[in-house]
Structure 1
Amino acid sequence: MRTPIFQIDAFSTRRFAGNPAAVMPMDQFPEDAVMQAIAAENNLAETAFLVRDGEDYRIRWFTPALEVPLCGHATLASAAVVMERLEPSRRRVVFHSASGSLFVSRTNTGYVMDFPARFSQPVPAPPGLAEALGVTPLEVVADGFNYLALLERAELVRGLAPDFAAIARLDRSGLIVTAPGDGGYDFVSRYFAPAKGISEDPVTGGAHCALTPYWAQRLNRTTFRAFQASRRGGELICRMVGDRVELEGSCVFYLEGTAEI
């Protein structure tokens, strides 16, 4: 079987920044083991598989190690593929996923995604968290997917050199670390998910589904300019809209070709 493959730098306006994702439109989803093997071969944080469903698309996301229920940057990349390559006249697309229906609209400068918010609750810091980070968080909250740890300053987030093996032993699949922003950003963050085969994700839409309501409550605001301070780095505009989160960003095409499966 031969299928198109695209590699896109998401949440960036230039190549070699943001978060790279592979997008593979198909006539139907192959077996799970095949999709997992493809994602491992692509060796990117996520590979998105798309199947047409009427006017919409079904979407599934795989890391090199496992399938995940939501991936923001690969959804952004998939929207770019649909609206710039598959159906250039479209301005909006709906993806049906394990996390429900995801809506993406085109803007003059990029795309806006409409995702369900992830609300967190305060929890005691899990054993080993401070040692894994090398710093004691001011506060720890959690949802069903990730811990979120608040640090005092952005420079502490930027300077982290965490123990990934220790993070992988936590009883959540990922760890978000955040602090008040610098350089004109409202908040900064980093995301570590070694248990999912991703030591550090460059820019993470799913994490911002938790970060947006968290900072909305802390700052009593609904719109934020955010920066994920990984080595590649990425910018997002985040908006709280009821129990949904809007994430706005840009994409740059890096690679277009055909995969032999």
Structure 2
Amino acid sequence: MYREIRLFQIDSFAARPFEGNPAAVCLLDGSADAAWMQQVAAEMNLSETAFVSPAADGFELRWFTPTVEVDLCGHATLASAHVLFETGTVTADASVRFHTRSGLLTVARSGDGYEMDFPADPPAPCAAPDGLARVLGAEPVSVLRGREDLVIRLADAATVRGLTPDMAALGRLDARGVIVTAAADEAGCDFISRFFGPQVGIDEDPVTGSAHCTLAPYWAAELDRDRLRAYQASARGGWLSLTVTGARVQIGGQAVTVFSGVLHA
């Protein structure tokens, strides 16, 4: 049905290739079948594949992991905007308007990167699932929940970095993903985190923009500051700049094109 679709792989929240979080971006001429998009995402086998198609006043944007469609993805949104700017589809002085399952999202250039406007998702304290410390391999300091994700605060950054959770057990928790976080232990960084999502086919996501819709308001309240700098401490790692403004979070980061080509499918 589809022939010669432009396809890109972008490293998001990265200043150079092979860092940050890779996402595939397909530029479509129109709407596409969801089952086909899921097949493409499984073929790409990245944490997210984004599908961008024209809309009346911007673009429609959908995101798929190798196994499911998701409601919100930060790094694939950043990747999609990067592609639109780099290909000249959108001019450098304009903002990209994406119509998504999470409402209207906008992305604009900012310095040598981009800034995304996303909905805030402040977490609320909740009861810890049974056996959580055993599943994580660390004792939680506090347990909270956003709309979809559990947020586990740990004692310190070293504990976050060294965590080796039981992925099979994590995948049985009632949450899209599990975010672990702690205050940073280095200058120039306010907090660090990691994101585990075996429920959606991603054991550990390298850099998760959507998780920072929840982390940013939490740490803004903890630190009494609305502008933050965060590091996601995965093996690839990635930096995010964050600004909390009421019910929105501005998420900033860089992106680089790793390769582009044509999808014959």
Q: TM-score, normalised by structure 1?
A: 0.98
Aligned residue in 2 for 1:136: 139
**How big is the shift at 1:88?**
5.2
Structure 2 letter corresponding to 1:30:
A
Aligned residue in 2 for 1:127: 130
- On the 8 A contact 2:11/2:18 being kept in 1, the answer is yes
**How big is the shift at 1:27?**
1.3
Matched, 1:186 2:220: no
**How big is the shift at 1:84?**
1.1
User: 2 CA distance for matches of 1:2 and 1:182?
Assistant: 48
Question: Which structure 2 residue ranges, 5 or more long, are not aligned?
Answer: none
- On the 8 A contact 1:19/1:234 being kept in 2, the answer is yes
State which of 142, 166, 169 in structure 2 corresponds to 1:166. Answer: 169
1:13-50 per-position Cα deviation (integer Å, ceiling 9, x unaligned): 01100000000010123211100000000000000000
Q: TM-score, normalised by structure 2?
A: 0.97
Aligned residue in 2 for 1:7: 9
State which of 247, 250, 257 in structure 2 corresponds to 1:253. Answer: 257
Deviates more, 1:23-32 or 1:114-123: 23-32
User: 1 CA distance for matches of 2:13 and 2:114?
Assistant: 9
Deviates more, 1:136-145 or 1:60-69: 136-145
Aligned CA RMSD, in angstroms, stands at 0.9
- On the 8 A contact 2:229/2:240 being kept in 1, the answer is yes
Task: Give the secondary-structure state (helix, strand or coil) at the position aligned to 1:124.
Answer: coil
Task: Give the secondary-structure state (helix, strand or coil) at the position aligned to 2:87.
Answer: helix
User: 2 CA distance for matches of 1:96 and 1:55?
Assistant: 9
1:129-185 per-position Cα deviation (integer Å, ceiling 9, x unaligned): 211110110000002200000011100000001110010000111000000012221
Matched, 1:235 2:239: yes
Q: Would you identify which runs of 4 or more consecutive aligned residues in structure 1 move more than 6 Å? A: none
User: 2 CA distance for matches of 1:247 and 1:108?
Assistant: 13
Structure 2 letter corresponding to 1:114:
D
1:206-247 per-position Cα deviation (integer Å, ceiling 9, x unaligned): 100000001011111101110000000000001101110000
Question: Which structure 1 residue ranges, 5 or more long, are not aligned?
Answer: none
Q: How does 1:219-230 map to 2 (within 5 A)?
A: 219-230=223-234
Structure 2 letter corresponding to 1:215:
W
- On the 8 A contact 1:128/1:166 being kept in 2, the answer is no
Structure 1 vs Structure 2: percent identity of aligned residues?
A: 49
Structure 1 letter corresponding to 2:125:
P
Pairs aligned (count)? 261
User: 2 CA distance for matches of 1:144 and 1:107?
Assistant: 29
User: 2 CA distance for matches of 1:45 and 1:246?
Assistant: 22
Structure 2 letter corresponding to 1:258:
V
- On the 8 A contact 2:72/2:102 being kept in 1, the answer is yes
1:37-75 per-position Cα deviation (integer Å, ceiling 9, x unaligned): 000000000000001113400100000010000000000
- On the 8 A contact 2:90/2:96 being kept in 1, the answer is no
